[in-house]
Amino acid sequence: MKEVIGMKFSVFTVMVPELTPKDILITLKEQGYDGVEWRCKETSGELRQQPVSFWGNNLCTISPNSTEAQLAELRSQIEQFNIETVSVNPYLDCSNLDDTENVLKIASQLGASMIRVGVPRYDRSVNYQDLFKQARNYLHEVEEMCKQYKIKGLVETHHVTIAPSASLAHRLVDQLDPKYIGVLFDPGNMIFEGYENHKMGLELLGPYLAHVHMKNASWKTKGQREDGSAIWEPAWDLVENGVVNWKQVLSDLKSVGYDGYIGMEDFSGVFTNEEALRHNISFIKHLLDD
């Protein structure tokens, strides 16, 4: 197994909705982060009238309709602060290759090495096998696009999709070239759905392990059903308080030779945006020092 050179730290801008793109670059530089992952989604006029939020009126979001001049200005700011654009993370649909290529163009203009690609949602209304076939066909097309743009497409382990676990994400990508298609391993999402022994999942992913997100969640009771049984639901939590044992995950990552980025994605809402960034990088550096 190769020696771990040293992990780097990035932030997915979905977690800092109160900051502008320039604000986040200044803050990342001040707090010792190495990279940024840009949230990419259109914000409607209606949403802009609402309070800032992670998935609504998020000020740290780039539009998929950004002009070349806007992207050139952002790239200039990125280079000014010497922050690496790790990825562009949109919310893609497997049925739309044009949207996927548009994100690849944006990523190329910003100097990103990866984008998050589409994975079908699973809500019991469509058979998994049909969704799997659709996703595999899509990913074969995306692989060719990624070769053209020299950018890697990432399937994220995410609840309410057909890839909630490492093994199901691996099943989607295992016939594709890991140079161009990989997996974003997200243990926090796997508390909601898809938990497996993390070391086993990482060993299974092998060369497809391309990126890692760091956040946490806890299970809490929420009332009772009519039959008297408890209703449990997961909720986002501080990285040190949730179910994921991040010290063990980091040890497992080290055991498989992972030396890439750890991307922060804190949705606990306990701190201000700047405080959350400071808290999370301090926490992970403490674990790595141990």
pLDDT band at residue 2 using 50, 70 and 90 as cut-offs:
very low
pLDDT in tens, 268-288: 999 999 999 999 999 999 999
- The chain-wide mean pLDDT, for the chain, equals 96
Q: Characterise 83 by phi-psi region: left (phi > 0), alpha (psi -120 to 50), beta (else).
A: beta
pLDDT band at residue 5 using 50, 70 and 90 as cut-offs:
very low
Maximum CA extent, the chain: 61
pLDDT in tens, 132-152: 999 999 999 999 999 999 999
Q: Under 8 Å CB-to-CB from 108, ≥6 apart: which residues?
A: 149, 151
> Domain locations in the chain?
8-289
Q: How far is CA 112 from CA 65, 200, 247, 260, in A?
A: 17, 29, 29, 14
| Predicted structure pTM score | 0.95
Q: What is the mean pLDDT of residues 217-246?
A: 96
In this predicted structure, the answer to whether residue 119 has a pLDDT above a threshold of 60 is yes
pLDDT in tens, 52-94: 999 999 999 999 999 999 999 999 999 999 999 999 999 999 9
pLDDT band at residue 196 using 50, 70 and 90 as cut-offs:
very high
Q: Under 8 Å CB-to-CB from 154, ≥6 apart: which residues?
A: 87, 114, 115, 116, 117, 181, 182, 183, 184, 210, 211
Class at the top of the CATH hierarchy for domain 8-289: alpha beta
pLDDT in tens, 48-59: 999 999 999 999
